[in-house]
Structure 1
Amino acid sequence: MYRTDTVHTSGWLIAAVHGAFASLPEIDQFAENTPYAGSYVPLRNYGRDERVSSVMIELRHKVYLTDPAAPTARPKSRTMKSRSGRTVSRSAGYAPRRAARTAVRGDEESARDAGFRKLAEYILGGNEEKPKIAMTAPVSQARSADNSWIISFYMPSQWTMSALPTPDNQEVELVEVPDETIAARRFTGSRSATAVATRAAELLGALENTEWVPVGEPVACFYDPSWSLPFRRRNEVVVPVATC
């Protein structure tokens, strides 16, 4: 945390910032005015207007972003080829996986954000044993039978169900995901509800008159963080399929 002086960064503001971060398990170090010092105050107000308060917060990128040199782990899969030779979508066979998931009510995008926060707390130490679990991709979102949204993080392959720590939040559950064959439509750009619905309709349409028959509802998968440039995002809509 960077601060100015007692006029514009008063004791109550410093205490408030400390209090806001003290309960976060992923923040294990907190320092003031190091390695730099100072915060921003408009020149017209500096030293003249005590109503203007200022504090600048800097987070090390490792707190919220995995090492860009180390690729994010992804579930193991193998590509399935169409008998007809048509390339209508990506078809893959996924091996059994473990996932942490949570159910959230609300509109599609706000539910996605709320579910992500709950699951991020779990892998960042919000569990009984307190270990941190590496982030993997994708994060998936699916509509449940009761119209809530199921947000899922897939666990790194080395974690077995018996070894995974128990979540502190009872709204987070750990589940076994059986092996499955899916068809996928990849896209970049917007992740809005409209964009996801459009891609889902394209995927289902592309599967018509092929040997791949949908056996479930479409699921949205997101491989990149929300702050990534839209044109560089990898998004997918997938649906479980069987051959006819």
Structure 2
Amino acid sequence: LPYELHGEGPRPAVCLGTDPFHTPPGLLAAARAAFEPCGETGLDSPFGGTYVPLDYYGRRHEVRALMVEIRRDTYMTEPGGPAGPGLPRLARSLAALVDAVPV
């Protein structure tokens, strides 16, 4: 899309954005396992990093973060069309990730 700064990089079905301080290995492993049914899962491409409130960024390990970017053609008809057959699989994957994250 025109607003993307790095549109030429790899375009996996699911991109997991990470932060070296706030994304623990267990969270990343849970996300990779949850999204395995969705196809290729990439790391920090085309989007990288996470969102963490600045008061906690780099200071509080208990604040964990992971950004999940999903390529739209995996769950809808482009451009801006209706949901497609990949939507239920994506919903199951998102639910599996939420269930895997300890409270």
Q: TM-score range by the shorter chain?
A: 0.5 to 0.7
| 1:17 alignment partner in structure 2 | 31
| 1:102 alignment partner in structure 2 | none
| 2:4 alignment partner in structure 1 | none
Aligned ranges for residues 194-209 of structure 1 at < 5 Å? none
TM-score, with normalisation over the residues of structure 2?
Answer: 0.60
TM-score, with normalisation over the residues of structure 1?
Answer: 0.27
> What is the CA–CA distance in structure 2 between the aligned matches of 1:69 and 1:46, rounded to whole Å?
35
Instruction: Specify whether residues 51 and 69 from structure 1 end up closer, same or farther in structure 2 by C-alpha distance, changes over 3 A only.
Output: closer
1:67 aligns with 2:67: no
Aligned length: 72
Q: Which runs of 5+ in 1 are unaligned?
A: 73-115, 122-244
The correspondence for 1:55, drawn from 58, 66, 75, is 66
Q: Which runs of 5+ in 2 are unaligned?
A: 1-15, 90-103
> What is the CA–CA distance in structure 2 between the aligned matches of 1:12 and 1:71, rounded to whole Å?
34
| 2:17 alignment partner in structure 1 | 2
1:35 aligns with 2:50: no
Instruction: Specify whether residues 45 and 70 from structure 1 end up closer, same or farther in structure 2 by C-alpha distance, changes over 3 A only.
Output: closer
Instruction: Specify whether residues 53 and 70 from structure 1 end up closer, same or farther in structure 2 by C-alpha distance, changes over 3 A only.
Output: closer
- What is the RMSD of the two structures over their aligned residues, measured on CA atoms? 2.7
Structure number having the greater strand percentage: 1
Instruction: Specify whether residues 15 and 70 from structure 1 end up closer, same or farther in structure 2 by C-alpha distance, changes over 3 A only.
Output: closer
- The one-letter code of the counterpart of 1:19 is A
- The one-letter code of the counterpart of 1:42 is P
Instruction: Specify whether residues 8 and 65 from structure 1 end up closer, same or farther in structure 2 by C-alpha distance, changes over 3 A only.
Output: same
Deviation at 1:48, TM superposition (A): 1.0
3-state DSSP of counterpart to 1:35: coil
Higher relative contact order (CA 8 A, sep 6+): 2
Deviation at 1:63, TM superposition (A): 0.8
Structure number having the greater helix percentage: 2
> What is the CA–CA distance in structure 2 between the aligned matches of 1:69 and 1:47, rounded to whole Å?
37
Select the structure of larger CA radius of gyration: 1
| 1:236 alignment partner in structure 2 | none
- The one-letter code of the counterpart of 2:65 is S
